[in-house]
Structure 1
Amino acid sequence: MYSFGGEQRNRGLELTAYGEVQRGLRLMASAAFNDAKLTRTAGGVNQGNNAAGVPDRTFNLGLDWDTPFVQGLSFNGRVIHTSPVYADAANRLRVANWTRLDIGARYATKVSGKPVVLRASLENAFDKNYWVVSNYVTVGAPRTLMLSAAMDF
Structure 2
Amino acid sequence: MSYSRSFEQVTGAARDGSLFKPQRGTQYEVGVKTDLFDNKLSATLALYELTLTNVLTSDPINPDFDVQTGEQRSRGVELSVTGEILPGWNVIGFYGYTDARVTKDNNIPVGNRVFGVPDNVASLWTTYTFPTGSLKGFGGGIGFNYVGDKKPDSLNTFTIPSYFLTDAALYYRNNNFSIGLNLNNIFNVRYYEASFSNLQRIIPGRP
- TM-score if structure 1 supplies the norm length? 0.82
Q: Kindly provide the amino acid, as one letter, of the partner of residue 93 in structure 1.
A: F
Match of 2:137 in 1: 72
Q: Kindly provide the amino acid, as one letter, of the partner of residue 157 in structure 2.
A: R
Q: Kindly provide the amino acid, as one letter, of the partner of residue 118 in structure 1.
A: I
Runs of 4+ in structure 1 displaced over 4 angstroms? 134-137
User: 1:137: how far off?
Assistant: 4.2
Q: Per the alignment, do residues 53 and 4 of structure 1 end up closer, same or farther by CA in structure 2, a change over 3 Å counting?
A: farther
CA distance, structure 1, for counterparts of residue 128 and residue 116 of structure 2? 34
Aligned 1:39-58 pairs, distance under 5 A: 39-43=103-107, 45-58=108-121
Highest CA radius of gyration, 1 or 2? 2
Identity among equivalent pairs (%): 23
CA distance, structure 1, for counterparts of residue 195 and residue 67 of structure 2? 12
Aligned 1:57-136 pairs, distance under 5 A: 57-67=120-130, 70-109=135-174, 115-133=176-194
Deviations 1:121-146 (A, max 9, x none): 0011111110112877411111xxxx
User: 1:93: how far off?
Assistant: 1.4
Deviations 1:4-23 (A, max 9, x none): 53122111001001000111
Match of 1:22 in 2: 86
Q: Name structure 2 gaps, 5 residues minimum.
A: 1-63
- TM-score if structure 2 supplies the norm length? 0.61
Q: Name structure 1 gaps, 5 residues minimum.
A: 143-153
CA distance, structure 2, for counterparts of residue 131 and residue 71 of structure 1? 39
CA distance, structure 1, for counterparts of residue 123 and residue 146 of structure 2? 6
More RCO (CA 8 Å, sep 6+): 1
Q: Kindly provide the amino acid, as one letter, of the partner of residue 153 in structure 2.
A: D
Deviations 1:84-130 (A, max 9, x none): 111111111101110000100110137xxxx3100110011111110
Q: CA RMSD in A?
A: 1.9
